[in-house]
A and B are shown apart, each in its own frame.
Chain A
Amino acid sequence: MRTVLAFRTILPTFTYHRPSSLAELLELKAKLGKDAAILAGGTDLLVDMKMGVKRPPHVIDIKSIKELHVLEYKEGSGLIIGPTVTLRELETNSLLKEKYPVLWDAVRKIADVALRERATLAGNIANASPAADSAPALLVYDAKVELTSVNGSRLVPLREFFTGVKKTVMKENEVITKIMVPEPPAGAKGEYFKAVRSAEDLALVGIAALVANPNNPAERVVRLAYASVAPTPVYVKEVEELFKKDEPLNKLIKEAVNIMLSKVSPISDVRATREYRLHLVKYVTAYLLRKLLGVK
């Protein structure tokens, strides 16, 4: 049955809505609930509909809502990214590259340029794929997601947002209205390592690493987050606490790798085996930490 659906060429029917204000969107979402799918870039939604995984009776296109297309940075308070901002807009933003190198690095490694022209950061998060490349990057910056419904807004740390494969804390009447990325620790650098078979593919394992003040234990910040190693993107707080210790970096790196291996639970699938993913976690974690901490 699944095979037959996979060869469907016509999309299932639905009613198309294009609200022009946030108030109108929230009213629609309150009325239609889970019967309405939010359409921003459509690069996940339309594929799921084509494959028969999703059949929403209503589709709400949010791209005509001007107030949702925000990309703002304020010194001190950080970055605000609206839900209709595309990955390509982020990738070509020089401020993002300079201030949030891990996020920039992750964004440009998602899919391919034609998809990044449509796909949005909020969509990558809302879809809650364990392989979402932007999730680990947003986790190391401690990003927060603003969820809004007719009843008002709430701010959820991304670290509490994902609850399972394609599952989040979002309620049926809620939409993502902002992603807020705080000011990074001073001097922070880092990268997103995406282990792949080919550039446009999903990550076998994705690791975001952020490091600041490597030589001063009291001020040192080391954050790691992972994609494709568990049902949800993984952030491990213990690693950040571990690196506050005034101990040789080599010893701390070894301990960090062991902590990480105990926190991940990868599966075997068409892309890689569980064993290979664990191997990647072990070696890439150590590689990134050595590189960013300046340890030979």
Chain B
Amino acid sequence: MAETITIRLKVNGVEKEVAVKPNERLLDVLREKFYINSVKAGCLRGECGICTVIMNGRLVKSCLVLAPEADGAEILTVEGLSRPGKPSVVQRAFIEKFGFQCGFCTPAFIMAAYWIVENMPNASEEEIKEILNSMICRCTGYKQIIEAIKYAIELKKQA
């Protein structure tokens, strides 16, 4: 049963072939083979959303994607949003609006925020909340996160 499968992934613009076991998750591959440490393991059953990434333009929980299922996919994580020393619009908004407390869930929320800014430029507060339903901030700092996302939408419009 120790068979391995070779998959090709493009993570934050870098394409690489990696050998995986069928029962590895996309989450494991990102952390262990691509050294993406912003993507974290929480509940591992699709409830907490802490492992959220953007896969082929869609917001997904990487604990519920098997590594072989992700073959050929393009993945975006928070590491792919900024250039060194230059945070993205969404990251700037989170900093200015204090959109984090302990910071553990922040990469997941930033990916959701990025997805909202890119795909729902006219999102209402209700619509933002609906998307954020898929993840949990255990510090319960939701108010500032929502403010940050609304601000990011504004920043993006000005840019």
Q: Which residues of A contact B (CB under 8 A)?
A: 9-16, 18, 39, 42-43, 46-47, 50-51, 59, 61, 63, 88, 111-115, 117-118, 199-200
Most chain B beta-carbon contacts within 10 A, residue among A12, A112, A117? A112
Closest 10 CB pairs of A and B: A112-B134, A16-B22, A114-B134, A11-B23, A112-B133, A13-B1, A117-B58, A47-B45, A114-B59, A200-B133
Interface 9-residue window, one of B31-39, B63-71, B85-93: B63-71
- Tell me what chain A mostly uses at the interface: helix, strand, loop, or mixed: loop
Knowing A15-B22, A16-B5, A47-B46 are in contact, say whether A118-B133 is a contact too (CB < 8 A).
no
Nearest-CB residue, chain A, relative to B55: A117
Nearest-CB residue, chain A, relative to B58: A117
Residues in A whose Cβ lies below 8 Å from that of B3: 15
Q: Which of B44-81 contact A (CB under 8 A)?
A: 44-46, 49, 52, 58-61, 63-66, 68-69
- Is A15's CB under 8 angstroms from B1's CB? yes
Shortest B75–chain A CB gap in Å is 14
- Is A61's CB under 8 angstroms from B1's CB? no
Q: Which of B1, B21, B25, B66 contacts A39 (CB 8 A)?
A: B66
In this complex, the interface size class of chain B, counting residues with CB under 8 Å from chain A, is: 20 to 34
Q: Which of A42, A46, A47, A115 contacts B134 (CB 8 A)?
A: A115
Residues in A whose Cβ lies below 8 Å from that of B59: 113-114, 117
- Is A42's CB under 8 angstroms from B64's CB? yes
Residues in B whose Cβ lies below 8 Å from that of A199: 130, 133
Residues in A whose Cβ lies below 8 Å from that of B123: none
Q: In the bound complex, what is the Cα–Cα distance between A43 and B60 (angstroms)?
A: 11
Mark B135-153 against chain A: 1 for CB-CB distance below 8 A, else 0: 1000000000000000000
Contact sample, A vs B, 7 pairs, CB 8 Å cutoff: A13-B22, A14-B22, A15-B3, A42-B64, A113-B131, A118-B64, A199-B133
